[in-house]
Structure formats: C-alpha cells, structure tokens
C-alpha cells in the first residue's frame, strides 16, 4: 500500500537527519541505539552520563578536527566507541586523545579507519543495514533487544551492551547471517546469567508474548 504524504514526509525527515549527522550524539555516519530508559540495563544515572559524554565528545571533536573527519561517538556504561574515518593517523590519534579527556570516560575503543571519508551513499546503506539488524534482534525471542547498542560502519557491525555470553553469541550469529554484514565486532560488557537474573529480572513484553 502506498505511503501517505505525512508518513512519507516523516520518513524523509528521519532519513535526512540520520544522513546529515543531526541524529542525537552523532558526528556523521550511521548509529542506531539508545534503548528505552525503562528496559535499559544501565542505571538512569549512567544513561544520563553516557548522553553527556556523547554530547561533549562530539562538540570537542568538531572544535579540534572540524569537518575533515567523519567520526561517530557512541558511549555505553562510560566506555566510548569511535568509528568512522580520518584522513591520517595524526587525526585518528588526536580524536582518541580528545575523547579520553572528556569527563566520566573510562575507556575508548578507537575503531577509526584511516583513508577516504565514506560517501553519503555508504552511510545511507549503513542506516538501512542497522535498521535490519535492530529488527532482527527485536524478532528474536532469545534476546532482549534493548540490551544491545548497534553501530554500523561500511557494513561492519559494532555491538555494545551489558549481556551474557549466551546473549552475545546468539546476537553475533544472527547478525552474521544478515546480507551485507561484513564483520561483527563484540565490544560488549559480559555479565553472568546469575547477575542478569538478579539485577535485570525479565518481564513479559509484547515481542515475547507473540
């Protein structure tokens, strides 16, 4: 059925915001994450700290490196993932130095690639692929999708979150089976099944009761 004009307009606005880097806490590129507060495995305070880290890091990177880089910033439990591209090793190192000095950052995963900056087409493809990955996690009855944060760069998938080894394995295998996924990088914080049951008791959701 054709999409009506209001719905089409909303979809176009969302796509443009993602591609232009106007989505929350992004300096260009494709990022899909930010689970609902109610089901996130971080405390509400930690979620606010992570949001603050992302905002401050993005602002300081813009100030230090301007538009000569394409850098995405994602923070989870005070750990920061830097993904995207820089044109030289010096800018890659400078990006990590700048972000490491942001308040509350405990660790930086520097996954920046040195070379040409990705095109808008490549970033659009990453947005689409990230949506497919998120939908796959939601459809899995073995997983709580909001436990994961998904970042996609040039078909490479970075997974963050607080999950068990079982959840990490299931999610990784599901994602590897999605067309156009070239690599899965696990940056998740592993917890035991006992800790999961104690700290995050599972409650029925619409997706689990289908």
Q: Which residues pair with 156 in a beta bridge?
A: 153, 183
DSSP H or E segment with residue 50: helix 44-65
Reported as a single tens digit per residue, the pLDDT across 103-149 is 999 999 999 999 999 999 999 999 999 999 999 999 999 999 999 99
The tokens for 69 are: 């880089």
pLDDT confidence of residue 202: 67
The tokens for 183 are: 């690599």
Whole-model pTM: value is 0.79
Asked whether 18 and 11 are in contact (CB, 8 A), the reply is no
Q: In this prediction, what percent of the chain has a pLDDT beyond 70?
A: 78
Asked whether 160 and 188 are in contact (CB, 8 A), the reply is yes
At residue 184 the predicted structure's pLDDT band, cuts being 50, 70 and 90, is: very high
pLDDT confidence of residue 149: 97
């Amino acid at each position: 059925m054709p999409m009506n004009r209001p719905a089409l307009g909303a979809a176009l606005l969302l796509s443009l915001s993602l591609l232009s880097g106007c989505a929350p806490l992004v300096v260009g590129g494709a990022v899909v994450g930010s689970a609902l507060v109610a089901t996130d495995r971080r405390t509400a305070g930690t979620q606010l700290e992570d949001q603050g880290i992302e905002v401050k890091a993005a602002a300081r990177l813009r100030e230090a490196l301007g538009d000569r880089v394409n850098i995405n910033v994602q923070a989870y439990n005070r750990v920061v993932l830097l993904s995207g591209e820089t044109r030289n090793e010096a800018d890659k190192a400078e990006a990590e130095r700048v972000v490491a000095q942001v308040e509350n950052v405990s660790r930086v995963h520097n996954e920046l690639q040195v070379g040409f900056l990705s095109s808008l087409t490549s970033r659009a493809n990453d947005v689409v692929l990230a949506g497919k990955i998120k939908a796959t996690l939601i459809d899995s009855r073995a997983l709580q999708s909001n436990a994961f944060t998904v970042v996609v760069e040039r078909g490479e998938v970075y997974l963050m979150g607080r999950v068990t080894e079982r959840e990490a394995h299931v999610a990784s295998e599901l994602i590897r089976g999605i067309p156009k996924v070239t690599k899965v990088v696990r940056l998740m914080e592993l917890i035991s099944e006992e800790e999961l049951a104690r700290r995050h008791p599972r409650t029925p959701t619409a997706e689990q009761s289908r």
